[in-house]
Amino acid sequence: MASEYDFSAIEKKWQKYWEENQTFKAVDFSPKPKYYCLDMFPYPSGAGLHVGHPEGYTATDILCRYRRMKGFNVLHPMGWDAFGLPAEQYAIETGTHPEITTEKNVDNFRRQIKALGFSYDWSREINTTRPAYFKWTQWIFSQLHKKGLAYLDEIPVNWCPALGTVLANEEVINGLSERGSHPVIRRPMKQWMLRITEYAERLLNDLDELDWPEGVKEMQRNWIGKSTGAEVKFMTTAGEAVTVYTTRPDTLFGATYMVLAPEHPLVDALTTPDRKAEVDAYREAAAKKSELARTGENSEKTGAFTGAYATNPVDGRQIPIWIADYVLVSYGTGAIMAVPAHDTRDFEFARTFNLPVVCIIEPDPEAAKAENVDVEAVHRGEACWTGEGKLIHSSNGDGLKLDGLSVAESKPAATRWLEERGLGREAVKYKLRDWLFSRQRYWGEPFPIIHYEDGSIELVNSDELPVDLPEMEDFKPAGDGEPPLSKAKDWLNYTDPKTGRRGKRETNTMPQWAGSCWYYLRYIDPDNAEQAWDPAKEKYWMPVDLYVGGAEHAVLHLLYARFWHKVLFDLGLVSTKEPFRKLINQGMILGVSYKDRRGALVPTDQVEFTPAGPVRKSDGEALVEFPAKMSKSLRNVINPDDVIREYGADSMRMYEMFMGPLEATKPWSTKGVEGVFRFLKRAHRMFQEAEIVDVPCTKDQQRLLHATIKKVSQDLDSFGFNTAISQLMIFLNEFSKLDKLPREAAEKFVLLLSPFAPHLGEELWQQLGHENTLAYEPWPEWDEAVLKLDEVEILVQVLGKPKARLMMPVDAAQEQAEKIALAAPEVQAALNGKPVKKVIFVPKRLLNIVI
């Protein structure tokens, strides 16, 4: 009697084998071709993994197992991005040290990941919170500092009093913190900054060389935001010169007012006494808004008039100077010339405050019609035109003649005129701003910085690294922006052991991004106490051949890591100018949620399942089921532990790959897991019930086997995991019908199955009589000659009605095909002695006889 598919015993057995034998340990300097495959390492939260997290890990594991069998030396590591605000907030709320909760969370994540049988080299495991790791994060910061790329500056920042820390723009939503929804204000604070802007051009240009999704590259291009234009000097009635950066110097004749950012350093000098109270109130209100709130497309246009005027350099007109929060001091020069006839934001502002709108570009009639824009309304200043056209009303008596020119022609002409008269110059600007690198929290990397009593600010001696965190019980901020570390007096006070100079340590800590900027390099040499990494090992393994992770990291993490890598490249510390050769973003796996007829969400634990569908337990109201992002609030999070307990790790792995393309968003379905589970049970049963025989496959069996090898191989090369699994199912459907299973087909099927269901693959391989793991067995090869058909099935019709399906030579000509068809008894019966009038033949497909 066939043994049952005891997936639990099988999976525990092989996970123990892999761990004891270090089956997946990567070998430095192997003569094999290297393959460095990297997952974006997780933040180990208290909630643990849900079934969406392992999707990318499963994909990389399948590829790594495939590559090992293809003869590659594979580096596939895992670690923990474990510093950060969530652990610190939990520590404040519970009084538990963040190191304790982080360690507990890491242990849980590691247990869950190991339960899925991923082929990681666990000997290279890293944790960003360990001193042996962040010693080198501090060392890299020291290199940035020595290179002049790290500096202190007092800048307006997003300050959250409740969290006691500065937040990045992306961490602020509608004026509230992303975590906890606490109010966020803008305030000036002294912060550490990194000069990422010095690398803007290289970060932009080198994107072209990367095999990344085009959408991700475009997001980085937009974030860097390169633009070419002109800096133009406007003299003001206050005697001050204001420099404006514009990408449209051709529109100077249409500039009817000027706008400064509320934080612009000249606002005080330009504001007249009668306007001071309104301007001050407006600046105070603007300080409470995040930059995203200020610059959003749907933001309401607000502003205040300073009372001052500027002289338009091309025609001498006096234009009013306003302040408005849609202009940022951190972009360009913090001042714009407003051309409301040809810029949507300027037009909205002008309409709000009844400012002049002067058309200086004649709209192209066809384009205006297509955009449903009234040309006459544009001329009257009642509509805005942002498209192409010829310039009008754009010439002066001092040699500037733009009338009749196109936009493309007029831009360089206007810039040349400004440069010749010392009124402006061509300039390139970037939206990208220097990286705000400070956080006012405890649970982060301390800066290796000393503020000495004589006012100097210096790095600690390199032999004093790592600068460790002090033991503290109170992690709350000290108040008024002072970080928690300011309360650690013994740690704070510093005396240089070599010179005796006294000072205080830096009390800010680094952002969580710091540890994740370079972790891929530490995997290469994780136990090196003398260097961040061995240069020879770095040269062997880098760059990362495949990087897989969520699209939410498309800009910040990937941009920051690229920046640090380029600095390290310039310092001669790495051998490649880019860290990640190929990038794939896996899609999101959605959970199932429910809502009532009013659209209100109903948590899953309040739902009862009846034959008629889901209903609310309390009142029996029928509910609508819909896919939604997994979240604790909806209580629709699916724990992989539960899936593994019910169906096994191999079933969960295969199902997540079978759901659809890797990059697509897909809804979770327990029924889908059950279907994959049945497939694995059938595969297991086939090897228990069929006799494995040393006989060659039949021609048809051989063809299906080689077609399967080819399909699975090509799909793995193109990340088509779902279609590769479909082909394995086709193979099983045919071969499971056999009582005697040819050994060649059995062994090659197991090898093909093993990357997807590695535990079952190993078990079946052992049942086939092999003593060693299949992890390094050669991947099966297909033979094109076997796939070539000798015969093909042809549908034979009489007067368009199917009468027979006949096998014919694949290269049969019409004469031969007719002879075979007319000899068939079914066709002769249909003809009933009637003469053939005509034959229509479609090679390899169809033969139709007309009588």
Residues placed in the known binding site for ATP: 632
A 10 A CB-CB count for 721 gives 26
CA distances from 284 to 138, 186, 276 (A): 37, 9, 12
Angle among Cα 186, 188, 190 to the nearest 5 degrees reads 135
In sequence order, what are the residues at sequence separation of 6 or more whose Cβ sits closer than 8 angstroms to the Cβ of residue 625?
592, 593, 594, 613, 614
Residue 50 sits at the vertex; the CA angle it makes with 44 and 54, to the nearest 5 degrees, is 80
Query: Helices in 527-616 by DSSP H: which ranges?
Result: 535-541, 556-570
Distance CA 166, CA 145 (A): 21
State the Cα–Cα distance between residues 492 and 470, nearest whole angstrom: 9
CA atoms within 13 A on the CB side of 307: 15
Give the type of residue at 44. Answer: P
- Encoded tokens for 577: 């100018």
The phi and psi torsions of 804 (rounded to 5 degrees) equal -165, 155
The strand pairing partners of 194, in sequence order, are 150, 435
Q: Which residue matches tokens 């095999």?
A: 211
Which residue bears the tokens 């900027």?
Answer: 517
Residue 479 class from Cβ within 10 Å (0-12 exposed, 13-18 middle, 19+ buried)? exposed
- The CA distances from residue 588 to 16, 311, 659, 801, 808, in Å, are 31, 54, 11, 49, 48
Q: Nearest 5 degrees, angle CA 50-CA 56-CA 60?
A: 135
157 forms beta bridges with: 187
C-alpha dihedral sign at 184, 186, 190, 195 = positive
Q: How many residues does the chain have?
A: 851
Q: What are phi and psi of 611, to 5 degrees?
A: -55, -30
Instruction: Name the nearest CA neighbour of 116 among 520, 638, 654, 629.
Output: 654
758-774: b (≥16 Cβ within 10 Å) or e:
bbbbbbbbbeeeeeebb
The single residue listed with the structure tokens 């209580």 is 635
The DSSP output letter for 543 is S
Cα separation of 783 and 464, whole Å? 62
In order of 627, 654, 723, 810, the CA distances from 756 in angstroms are 26, 6, 12, 36
The candidate with the shortest Cα–Cα distance to 851, out of 817, 822, 808, 824, is 822
487 φ/ψ angles, rounded to the nearest 5 degrees: -90, -10
The SS3 assignment for 131 reads helix
Contacts of 397 (CB under 8 A, 6+ apart): none
Q: Which tokens in the block code for residue 614?
A: 């889901």
Structure tokens at 743: 């050994």
The answer to whether the CB of 651 falls within 8 A of the CB of 683 is: no
Alpha helices (H) in 380-430, listed in sequence order? 407-420
Nearest to 249 by CA among 400, 377, 358: 400
For the annotated binding site, the residues are 632
Question: 467, exposed or middle or buried, with CB in 10 Å at 0-12, 13-18, 19+?
Answer: buried
